[in-house]
A and B are shown apart, each in its own frame.
Chain A
Amino acid sequence: MADFVINESSVSGLIGEYTERRISRLEKLLGPELYHILHGIFTNPLSIIGFSLILFFFLVAIFAPQIAPPLEGTRDPYKILRDGFSPYPKEPGELWVKKAPELPFWYKPLTGNDQWVHFFGTASGGWDLFYGVVWGTRTAIKVGVIIEGLTLFLGIIIGSLAGFYGGALDTIIMRITEIFQTFPFILSAMTLSAILTPILGKGLWPATIALIVFGWMSYARLIRGDILSVRERDYVMAARVVGASDSRIMFKHIIPNAIYPTLVVASLDIGIVVVSFAALSFLGIGTEIGYADWGQLVSFARDWIPQLSRYWWILIYPGMALVLFVLGWNLVGDALRDIMDPRMRGRGS
């Protein structure tokens, strides 16, 4: 016992330190955990850049009809506008010849020109890249949010069932998770889209469903782990003692307290989801030719590989949109992982 003397001064020092720390109103509102995370994100220059990029793309998506107006009376604005059917790409800045859309209000004051040009040039076949990139932003965000949301939903349901009920059900579910994890992601998603395409027709859905089916496993594992630890807490026991039903305990007590890390990880995976979807449509699986989708725009560059130094714009503009979009999510994600990594805590981050 002798070597276990409590050093009084150190204890009082600790207490003093604690009471001295000022807790801002914001921290009170958000709680210490969320405050710590948000504070970390908004003081890290890299993640601020990331947030700005994401914000920029959201603005482009929201104002797509104003930035790149579709043809009047069109039924499907996601269909990229084309200027004739010439097999040769047009340079950025070339005048729009056939069936130009109406000029947006900002165009004349900003450029001093009253004819619509191909800002980013065209691909072969007259597809306007500017229109494609702008409306492709909408596709990217739409696809990212839908796929990520549904994947997360599936993962949470499966993981919660395993974590909450435990026992044999847990074992079975975890084996199924392992089985799905054995499948190579892109190759399997490609296969499933190939199977679904004749059934559902070309469009967003085959690739979307395929990416969800082979993407839920990591979330299921994550939430299961957190539920396993939350399940043993006193307040869950208390709820059980007063006779709360299984579903009430699950949805009111366990999931709200366990879901947080999974949500954070999932929201930042949107970048990865968008790339996977773009990869599939780059290969020609998914949307129809001419659908405003970044992966497909990049695939236009494949026809010109030996002449890419001449027709660079077909690759650079849609490619840049994709890279910057993903970069935005990854910059925030990288900062967040450091903040949430307990080994990195308290090292002045």
Chain B
Amino acid sequence: MTQYIIRRLLLIPIILFGVTILIFGMLSTLDPAERAALYVHEIPKNAQVMDSIIRRYGLDDPFFVQYWRWLTGRKDVDTGEITGGILRGDFGYSRSGNTSVAELIKRRFPATVELVLYSIIPLVGVGIWLGIIAAVNHNKFIDQVARVFSILGYSFPSFVFGLLVLMLFYANNGWFPPGRVADWANMIINSPEFKNYTSFITIDALLNGRFDIFLDALRHMVLPIVTLSYINMALFLRVMRSSMLESLNQDYVVTARAKGVREKDVINKHARPNALIPVVTMAGITIATLLGGVTITETIFNFPGIGAAGASAAVQLDVITVLAFVLLTGLIMLISNLIVDIMYAFLDPRVRLS
């Protein structure tokens, strides 16, 4: 067990090295003049000034020299000032976001995290619930209905489903508008009286005692949450269903039934806990995937998270910004995979005790 965790931890630097090399490899395909944005905030139009910048920051240097500089930054010989360096949290300047990439992440990332955390509750909850119902009624009518419902959700591209719910619940009646908060709420949030504790608007609103803003923020999140839950639910339903089916056929469930335990208790106390193990691990991975994959949903609902920023950067061919986002979400993926694997080992008695 400990050995397993240590081995996993040792792999992380290797993978990180590979990921950064690949990302830097993609960066290297850019014109040196474009890569100047890694170090300089104002890109000059003048070709001569640009040449001096390219020389100064060594944007023509060999690959690994540049790679190292990209990781650690460039120290100015005269002033001792360090610029760039992703290890220092400096990802350069974002042309599409009109600010430094780090600032863009700081501003946009909390919105994405908030949306994903709210979405994961109905997504996992309803997925598990439907999965259990389907398994208990295996091959009966309800099972088929749950199945068709989930396959249909799985078949909906997020942008089609998102626009569809916008058509039904916004264009018709204005119930759930896109965006993050209404204009009036935005003005209050940006005013000095409103204290920013966590950057999660719903929590900040409650801490500031503004229940109206809390409700407004929730109202704006309803449609993206519905979209993210529905199109991702199929997987949970499927895994829960098959793991519950397996669990219902185990000897300990048969024993419980033979002892005369009520069917409700058989399902809730004997079959369900073990059937939940694969779903719990999947939930962890889903959170990580969503953090890197809500690009399209955010774009449709005009939700100012990191995904929408990434999409607009990619459309404007602002590669430096998107690659920083790729690196960030890749890192989250890596860490959450590790956590999930360790958690899995703890949850499963067969692994824990070996």
Contact = CB atoms under 8 A, between A and B. Distances in A.
B339 interface: no
B314 A190 contact: yes
A298 B317 contact: no
B167 A315 contact: yes
Interface stretch (B64-72, B153-161, B198-206): B153-161
Contact of B18 (A179, A275, A309, A341): A179
B57 interface: no
B295 A190 contact: yes
B151 A334 contact: yes
B242 A193 contact: no
B326 A283 contact: no
Given A184-B333, A305-B166, A306-B170, A330 B299 contact: no
Interface stretch (A114-122, A159-167, A194-202, A248-256): A194-202
Interface in A268-324: 271, 275, 278-279, 282-285, 295, 298-299, 301-302, 305-310, 312, 315, 319, 322-323
A285 B315 contact: yes
B296 A279 contact: yes
Contacts of B22: 179-180, 183
B333 A182 contact: yes
Given A176-B18, A184-B293, A271-B155, A197 B167 contact: no
Interface residues of A, number: 55
B172 interface: yes
B242 A343 contact: yes
Interface string A316-345: 000100110011001100100000010110
B26 interface: yes
A11 interface: no
A186 interface: yes
Interface string A180-212: 101111111011111101110000000000000
Contacts of A246: none
Interface in B119-164: 139, 147-148, 151-152, 154-160, 163-164
Contact of B159 (A188, A279, A307, A343): A279
Given A176-B18, A305-B166, A309-B171, A323 B292 contact: no
Interface in A100-115: none
B164 A315 contact: yes
A321 to B, nearest CB: 10
Contact of B170 (A190, A195, A305, A327): A305
A330 B322 contact: no
Contacts of B296: 186, 279, 282-283
A198 B33 CA distance: 15
Overall SS of chain B's interface: helix
Contacts of A302: 163, 300
A183 B18 CA distance: 11
B167 A195 contact: no
B154 to A, nearest CB: 6
Contact of B15 (A179, A309, A323): A179
B222 interface: no
Give the interface centre of A190, A199, A309, A348 by most chain B CB atoms within 10 Å: A190
A240 interface: no
Contact of B314 (A193, A271, A278, A298): A193
B163 A182 contact: no
Given A190-B314, A279-B157, A301 B163 contact: yes
B73 interface: no
A150 interface: no
B14 interface: yes
Given A182-B333, A279-B159, A312 B315 contact: no
A94 interface: no
A187 B293 contact: yes
Contact of A323 (B160, B289, B300, B325): B160
B178 A305 contact: yes
A284 to B, nearest CB: 5
Contacts of B139: 348
B156 A323 contact: yes
A89 to B, nearest CB: 14
A36 interface: no
22 contacts: A175-B11, A175-B14, A175-B18, A179-B22, A182-B15, A182-B333, A190-B314, A191-B314, A191-B323, A194-B319, A195-B26, A197-B317, A198-B317, A283-B296, A283-B314, A295-B157, A298-B163, A309-B171, A315-B160, A319-B163, A322-B157, A343-B242
Interface of A: 46, 175-176, 178-180, 182-188, 190-195, 197-199, 271, 275, 278-279, 282-285, 295, 298-299, 301-302, 305-310, 312, 315, 319, 322-323, 326-327, 330-331, 334, 341, 343-344, 348
Given A187-B307, A330-B154, 15 more contacts: A46-B151, A175-B11, A184-B289, A186-B295, A187-B322, A194-B314, A194-B315, A194-B319, A194-B322, A279-B296, A285-B315, A298-B159, A305-B163, A305-B170, A308-B171
